[in-house]
Structure 1
Amino acid sequence: MTPSTTPRSLTADDLRAGLASGTPPRLLDVRSPAEFEAAHIPGSHNVPLDVLREHREELAEHLDADVVLVCRSGQRAGQAERALAEAGLPGLAVLSGGITAWERAGAPVDRGRERWDMERQVRLVAGSLVLIGALGSFAVPGMQLLSAFVGGGLAFAAVSNTCAMGVLLSRMPWNRTPSFDPRRAVARLADRSR
């Protein structure tokens, strides 16, 4: 089956109306466990994008088309939609603007321990590496290549709409929560299938 090129998009108001209906959609938040713990839509399930990609066939067996994918801005949710479409579950909706738009609309959010979102972490690491490369080149010839490498990686991330640095950072200990178990998350979704 060919995956869709543009995911179906829902606004925060559309999602609020859907959640208030008699048949609310299931919410699948694809951010890191730490981002999810910091703030998420009540009733949503957390399956980080890397876990979703790894278990997409299994998830596609247990989910139906009445799922809305959520992330910070809509980018990772769009990637999750494409991954699930490749596994045979096309037509899932993506929350346009992600949790950021949801919060701006004044919609309810469950809050936990505050943590930096992935985009902010990527900006910190990339900026620090560029600065180290630029300043370090005064003392160590060739160190500016580090800055060029990071700049090339950021350009590739923009063109490909992927972020290797974000994937690596999502696996760091501070972005994991002790209670997150990928297999249990997938099993929980399978048990709640409609």
Structure 2
Amino acid sequence: MKSLVLSSVAVALLLFSGCSSKEPAIDSEPQNTPSVQAEEVKAPVTEEVAAEESVVSSSSENIVRMSVDEVEKSLPVIYFDFDKFDITAQAQDKIVAAATLGNNGAKAYSVKLEGNCDEWGSDEYNFALGLKRAEAVKKALVAEGIDETRISMVSYGESNPVCTDKTKECWSQNRRVNFKLLP
């Protein structure tokens, strides 16, 4: 009887402990819960921002003739500081440009926000941080007028690096959120 109880406990522990999964955390369906209002952050308009907005507005008029790949290439990559998920002023400018493109010409597409991290931290921590980064970008896009139901999120944690060197510059390239268009 004692060995049956001990073996049952051992099997239960094996089932519940398991190994950590490297599967990305996916928010496949937008939630219908009321979202927290994001603060509207307006960066001062510089010549560079004005030039970028004119490029976005002129390219959004031609978006009907562009393929999904061409549109994705025109979308920015949002970069983050080490261990952070807040939107900087430079990132806000890129989000405004992406929202302009999304509101003017890419209304037929949904967008998937892909959160990524550098190799520092545990797998679980990096998946959570990638999801927080994607959520921050989602809130900023919603504040810019993108419909929340058009946005889904996924976190790849550290499993989707664009650079594998062991340098600070390389690690900073991996702390990002990418945009992917969905039909």
Query: Is TM > 0.5 for Structure 1 vs Structure 2?
Result: no
- Higher normalized helix content (fraction of residues): 1
Q: Give the structure with higher Rg (CA).
A: 2
Range of TM-score over shorter length = under 0.3
Q: Using CA pairs below 8 Å that are at least 6 residues apart, which structure has the higher relative contact order? A: 2
